[in-house]
């Protein structure tokens, strides 16, 4: 093609970070973001917190004002789902027209898992992934109503916290033996469970819905596998998400629970990269897909650098957070494969230290920002903290962080 044209498919956090990095890195050619929603790039984490509580307006969600993109020379095309990509021809199809590109990046994020068949199509049943979902749900959050949260993950629990504070009666039903089972140790799950129950939320673990009762196509109750019947006015289904890799798959690009990339963000097709929630990359030798703001920003910037021929391998120390009531849960590292947990309390809060083969790999800090920041720096520095050391009576992670390397 005569003119350089980088196209980013998707318009979320990763897309925004990638575009900004390209421009700040010196790319001066044509740059287009195609998004299928009607909004420019915006933040998703506040949807289940500040935005749902009506503390934030839509404009505050936007990662940058609309004029910012025009001033940066980035064309943001909204309400424009890309329907096909041809890697060989370097073209894509959007809105029935064919667009040529020289380089392309997938930043397509994730989509909610399909609703269980018994919930599909019913009035009063919601998902919470995008702005339109949050707008619909806002109108349902009214005092005195009965909310069912199906799934005890972070988004469901954050929504439960907002709803019970707004005067709703809230029940969380989790199929697994405990909430947060996939992402946290039993001690963290217990702390979060006690927090919610202390605010009046009922949490039913190891339970599943066997029947949905309806009237005029609206949900009115559910029956559980233990015989309980729960009256329901509104339901939130939060049973996880799937990577949006269907475009890449259809184009013959390698996918496996996401678009497969190497440590630089490159896919199996020349001149095509991927970053953010949709991308699977090698981390410590294990194919990994991270759903976090940190990963969306950092991996996108790494991919942008590679597109600019400034290759650097992506090897992050992941971090996450969740706000529920007056509690901030901050997580650093990945706890996969942990075989021991040390629970430490302080005057500030408490923290769960995860270990694998005697070495610290992650920390859950609950209202303890000091410990979180120290653990983050220790992990980033590659400092080895042993199970025995963290178990000592006077262990202070901040003092340990400041100690010169041996």
In this predicted model, what pLDDT tens digit does every residue of 55-91 receive, in sequence order? 999 999 999 999 999 999 999 999 999 999 999 999 9
The domain made up of 114-237 has a fold known as FAD/NAD(P)-binding domain (3.50.50)
Quick one: which of 333, 394, 377 has its CA closest to 359? 333
| CATH of 326-402 among 1.20.120.530, 3.40.50.170, 3.40.190.10, 3.30.390.30 | 3.30.390.30
Cβ–Cβ < 8 Å for 47, 54: no
- State the pLDDT confidence band at 125, using cuts at 50, 70 and 90: very high
Overall residue count recorded for the chain in this entry: 406
Q: Which two tokens stand for residue 125?
A: 């049943």
**What pLDDT score does 2 carry?**
61
Task: Tell me the per-residue pLDDT of 293-327, one tens digit each, with 9 for 90 and over.
Answer: 999 999 999 999 999 999 999 999 999 999 999 99
Task: Tell me the per-residue pLDDT of 15-48, one tens digit each, with 9 for 90 and over.
Answer: 999 999 999 999 999 999 999 999 999 999 999 9
**What pLDDT score does 402 carry?**
86
Quick one: which of 383, 289, 386, 396 has its CA closest to 334? 289
The structure tokens 């609703």 sit at 115
Domain ranges across the chain: 5-111+242-307, 114-237, 326-402
Please tell me the distance from the alpha carbon of residue 12 to that of residue 15, in angstroms, as a whole number.
5
**What pLDDT score does 180 carry?**
97
Please tell me the distance from the alpha carbon of residue 122 to that of residue 215, in angstroms, as a whole number.
10
Task: Tell me the per-residue pLDDT of 227-250, one tens digit each, with 9 for 90 and over.
Answer: 999 999 999 999 999 999 999 999
Q: Record the pTM.
A: 0.94
The reply to whether CATH 3.40.50.300 applies to domain 5-111+242-307 is no
Adjacent-strand bridge partners of 92: 85, 99
- State the pLDDT confidence band at 163, using cuts at 50, 70 and 90: very high
What percent of the chain is modeled with pLDDT above 70?
Answer: 99
Quick one: which of 189, 125, 200 has its CA closest to 161? 200
Alpha helices in 186-328 (DSSP H): 186-198, 246-250, 293-307
Q: What end-to-end distance do the CA atoms of the chain give, in Å?
A: 55
Alpha helices in 239-396 (DSSP H): 246-250, 293-307, 369-380, 387-391
Cβ–Cβ < 8 Å for 255, 176: no
Handedness of CA 130, 133, 137, 138 (dihedral sign): positive
Quick one: which of 166, 171, 169 has its CA closest to 139? 166
Q: Which two tokens stand for residue 279?
A: 């991308």
Domain 114-237 in the same topology as domain 5-111+242-307? yes
Gyration radius (Cα) of the chain, Å: 23
């Amino acid at each position: 093609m005569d003119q350089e044209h980088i196209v980013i498919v998707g318009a979320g956090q990763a897309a925004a970070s990638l575009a900004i990095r390209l421009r700040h890195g010196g790319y001066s050619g044509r740059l287009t973001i195609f998004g299928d929603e009607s909004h420019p790039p915006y933040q998703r984490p506040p949807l289940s917190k500040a935005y749902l509580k009506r503390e934030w307006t839509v404009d505050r969600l936007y990662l940058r004002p609309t004029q910012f993109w025009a001033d940066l020379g980035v064309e943001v095309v909204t309400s424009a789902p890309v329907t096909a990509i041809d890697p060989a021809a370097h073209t894509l199809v959007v809105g029935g027209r064919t667009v040529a590109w020289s380089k392309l990046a997938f930043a397509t994020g994730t989509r909610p898992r399909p609703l269980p068949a018994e919930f599909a199509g019913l009035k009063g049943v919601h998902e919470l992934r995008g702005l339109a979902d949050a707008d619909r749900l806002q109108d349902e959050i009214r005092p005195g109503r009965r909310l069912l949260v199906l799934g005890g993950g972070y988004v469901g629990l954050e929504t439960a916290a907002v709803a019970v504070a707004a005067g709703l009666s809230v029940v969380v039903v989790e199929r697994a033996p405990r909430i947060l089972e996939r992402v946290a140790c039993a001690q963290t799950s217990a702390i979060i469970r006690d927090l919610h129950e202390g605010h009046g939320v009922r949490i039913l673990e190891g339970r599943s819905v066997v029947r949905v009762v309806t009237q005029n196509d609206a949900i009115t109750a559910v029956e559980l596998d233990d015989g309980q019947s729960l009256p329901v006015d509104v339901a939130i289904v939060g049973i996880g998400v799937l990577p949006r890799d269907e475009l890449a798959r259809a184009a013959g690009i390698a996918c496996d629970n996401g678009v497969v990339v190497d440590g630089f963000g490159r896919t199996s097709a020349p001149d095509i990269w991927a970053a953010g929630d949709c991308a699977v990359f090698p981390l410590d030798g294990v194919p990994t897909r991270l759903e976090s703001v940190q990963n969306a920003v950092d991996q996108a910037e790494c991919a942008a650098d590679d597109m600019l021929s400034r290759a650097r391998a992506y090897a992050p120390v992941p971090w996450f957070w969740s706000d529920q009531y007056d509690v901030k849960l901050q997580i650093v590292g990945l706890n996969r494969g942990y075989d021991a947990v040390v629970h430490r309390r302080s005057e500030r809060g408490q923290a769960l230290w995860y270990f694998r083969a005697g070495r610290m790999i992650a920390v859950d800090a609950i209202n303890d920002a000091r410990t979180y920041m120290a653990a983050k720096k220790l992990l980033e520095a590659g400092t080895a903290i042993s199970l025995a050391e963290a178990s000592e009576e006077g262990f202070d992670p901040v003092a340990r962080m400041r100690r010169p390397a041996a």
